[in-house]
Amino acid sequence: MKNIALFGICGKMGRSMLSELILEQDIKIVAGFDRINIGTDIGILTGREISGIKVTDKYEDIKAAKPDLVIDFTGPEVVYKNILWAIESKTNIIVGATGLSKEEIDIVKEKAKKIKSKVFIVPNFSIGAVMMVRLSSLAASYFDNCEIVEMHHDKKKDAPSGTAIATATAINKKKNFNALKFLSDEKETIEGSRGAFSDGIHIHSIRLPGLLAHQSVIFGSKGQTLTIKHDSIDRSSFYAGLIMAIRNIDKLPNFSYGLESLIEI
């Protein structure tokens, strides 16, 4: 039995994942962390019977529940603090929340080397998105340039998405497409028109109601383009990857990044 503390339990991802996790035989939710609905029984969050476990915003309460594992679906403003707390508390953590800077990830990686517990950062739990990144890094060598368009629901707080940044990093390991954001004769007449720039790749972020999580990686060469596209049309797309991460985190090194750490492709 794995005892889990779910952070961001009252959010869209927290609730969606909770409603599936409580059905698993080998998992027990022992604590729920959030800044809203404090004191609410977590059973009520999924429309089920009272569980006796109440939402808290206090690390002490989480520690007292003795979780084997923290799963974090909070957001950019608190996720880094939560990871550092999990490291200090020697508790394994799977980080689903996005918005960590590269510098923060590097610091976490360094700290994780010196600890016994594990940090597993997974910017995208959907298997299709992992395939999209892998296929993109395969295609990279054969094209002259690449740009990423990511589209998410309008409540997403960070931009560009963690998946877009991770895709650019993966592609850059195969090919560095651009040393600089702008060509020597290129000029933005409206600032931001060419998007963000990460690992030599332009990233364009769209936020609209009606969307969930979508990304196109577009490669271009003389006379042709190749688009590798992935769509998450329902939050259930993230569950298979999450449960895989929960069941396999013990086999991973102290620090791992991306669901591809668990998938042979």
Ligand X SMILES: NC(=O)c1ccc[n+]([C@@H]2O[C@H](COP(=O)([O-])OP(=O)(O)OC[C@H]3O[C@@H](n4cnc5c(N)ncnc54)[C@H](O)[C@@H]3O)[C@@H](O)[C@H]2O)c1
Active-site residue (options: 109, 114, 153, 156): 156
Strand order in the sheet with 213-221: 196-198, 201-207, 145-152, 213-221, 224-232
**Best CA proximity match to 3, nearest among 21, 15, 19:** 21
Report the site for ligand X in 19-48 (rule: CB under 6 A).
34-36
Cα(172)–Cα(139) distance, rounded to whole angstroms?
A: 12
Backbone angles phi, psi at 203, to 5 degrees: -125, 125
12, 58, 113, 173: which one contacts ligand X (CB under 6 A)? Answer: 12
CB-wise, 74 or 169, nearer to ligand X?
Answer: 74
Size of site (CB under 6 A) for ligand X = 25
Structure-block tokens of residue 195: 């998007």
Cα(33)–Cα(56) distance, rounded to whole angstroms?
A: 5
CB-wise, 75 or 220, nearer to ligand X?
Answer: 75
| Residue 205, helix vs strand vs coil | strand
CB-wise, 8 or 195, nearer to ligand X?
Answer: 8
Active-site residue (options: 2, 118, 152, 202): 152
53 interacts with ligand X by CB under 6 A = no
- Residue 226 bridge partners (DSSP): 219
156: annotated active-site residue: yes
Report the site for ligand X in 77-116 (rule: CB under 6 A).
77-78, 96-99
Backbone angles phi, psi at 121, to 5 degrees: -95, 125
167 interacts with ligand X by CB under 6 A = no
CB-wise, 71 or 146, nearer to ligand X?
Answer: 71
Report the site for ligand X in 63-82 (rule: CB under 6 A).
73-75, 77-78
- The DSSP line for 161-199 is -HHHHHHHHHHHHH----SSSS-TT---SSTTTT-EEET
204: annotated active-site residue: no
CB 106, min distance to ligand X, A? 19
CB neighbours of residue 254 within 10 Å:
17
Q: Note the residue count of the chain.
A: 265
125 interacts with ligand X by CB under 6 A = yes
CB 7, min distance to ligand X, A? 7
Among all residues, which ones are annotated catalytic?
A: 152, 156
Positions in the binding site for ligand X (CB under 6 A) = 8, 10-14, 34-36, 57, 73-75, 77-78, 96-99, 122-125, 156, 238
